[in-house]
Amino acid sequence: MNFYNINNPTEKVSLKEAVLKSVTRVSDLYMPEYIPILSSEFFNRLNCTSLQKIAFNVSKAMFGQDIPDIALENIINKALNFEIPLRQLDKNLYVLELFHGPTLAFKDVGARFMAGLFGFFFRMKTVILPFL
């Protein structure tokens, strides 16, 4: 899947380029060209599926062409190794408490996953880092 720069939609890059450029160019934010549709079975089983497995299924749909399953699983298991409870606020209103990570900030969820992606691409021998 390709990703486009929201500041310059004609700029389309691979996942690896989007991850590495987002670290070096602060003003850039990349979005996927499309959002994959997950099966109804996926949604029907959410109540009995672990957070890590949900994250894997969503991530595989988005990044599966670019990252092997085992690497993606490892990234997710390291990034989401703390509780993220779902709290019911009202009859049909729920919220995820994203502040249970190591720094007690919601950013622990996304930043740790992003760090895992960066580490994966950094370890690949084909990575060229423009800032080194």
| Residues annotated catalytic, as ranges | 107
Residue 93, phi then psi, degrees to nearest 5 = -130, 120
> Among 3, 49, 52, 45, which residue's Cα sits nearest to residue 28?
3
Q: Are 59 and 76 in contact, with CB atoms under 8 Å apart? A: yes
Helix (H) or strand (E) holding 90: strand 86-90
Backbone CA torsion sign across 13, 114, 29, 85: positive
